[in-house]
Amino acid sequence: MRTKLVAGNWKLHKTVAEARALVEELSVRLRGLGGRRAEVAVMPPFTALWAVREACSAAGLQLGAQDVHWEEQGAFTGEVSAKMLRDVGCQYVIVGHSERRAMFGDTPENVGKKAAAVLGAGLVPIICVGETLAERERGETMAVVRAQLEAAVAPVTAGDAPTIVIAYEPVWAIGTGKNAETYQAQEVHEHIRGLLRSAFGEGVTDAIRILYGGSVKPSNAGDLMSAPDIDGALVGGASLSADSFAGIVAAAENRP
């Protein structure tokens, strides 16, 4: 059995004070759930990572970053390395988010380099893949996801593979309020698991978690995560309030 992972991608939101307050509130809400079975992670902006590190660890929350550069150090103005992210307490790093691909020049090859750098620093990459609405309408979903996934996992060794996390985030479902139907997501997750099986073999693939992302909220999270290949959620908007994020965690655990 794969432990479910619920991860909150805060994107470009929260000052240090706001981030601290959200983690505090979240820790209270999650305590209210009693013993937790799902793993929970938050991904604040870089500027708030250090400030929330201790509160996260006290609350049993994992910490992650939203992006990384693949080089360890050097003349790369504005960039942050995986080693630096480990240094501020991160366990996870998102790579290849569709917003980075669409607006900040992430190529399939660069996403692979980022995933390898994250693993090299002993952290876990959350590798995002997903099609646009136009690609879905042209019937290209499986091919697009395949190309993105294969490029991203090309530098990943079979030894590292069991720890990686994949996030299927259809671009048309991100921030739109219109989530993929559970059967649509499951179909793509099953395809992803098949591709991973070809790359890494059966046993390794059984351990890899595949998250769904795109307008996840407390009202749809339970249904989505009941599908056999949906091992958790990568949450944007609904991770910005402790109420809705805790509601999603509760749904991941089948609790009222």
By beta carbon distance, the residue nearest ligand 13P is 236
Q: Which of 69, 97, 99, 131 is catalytic?
A: 97
Contact 65, 80 (CB under 8 A): yes
| Least distance to ligand 13P, CB of residue 202, Å | 29
Tell me which residues touch ligand 13P (CB under 6 A). Answer: 9, 97, 169, 174-175, 213-216, 234-238
**169 labelled catalytic:** yes
**97 labelled catalytic:** yes
Contact 48, 28 (CB under 8 A): no
Residue closer to ligand 13P by CB (options 117, 174) is: 174
Contact 32, 65 (CB under 8 A): no
What b/e readout covers 183-208, taking b as 16+ CB neighbours within 10 angstroms? eebbbbbebbbebbeebbeeebbeeb
Tokens read off for 12: 């470009």
Residue closer to ligand 13P by CB (options 4, 204) is: 4
Residue closer to ligand 13P by CB (options 97, 200) is: 97
Q: Which of 39, 69, 169, 189 is catalytic?
A: 169
| Least distance to ligand 13P, CB of residue 205, Å | 23
Question: Which residues sit opposite 124 in a β-bridge?
Answer: 92
User: What is the set of active-site residues?
Assistant: 97, 169
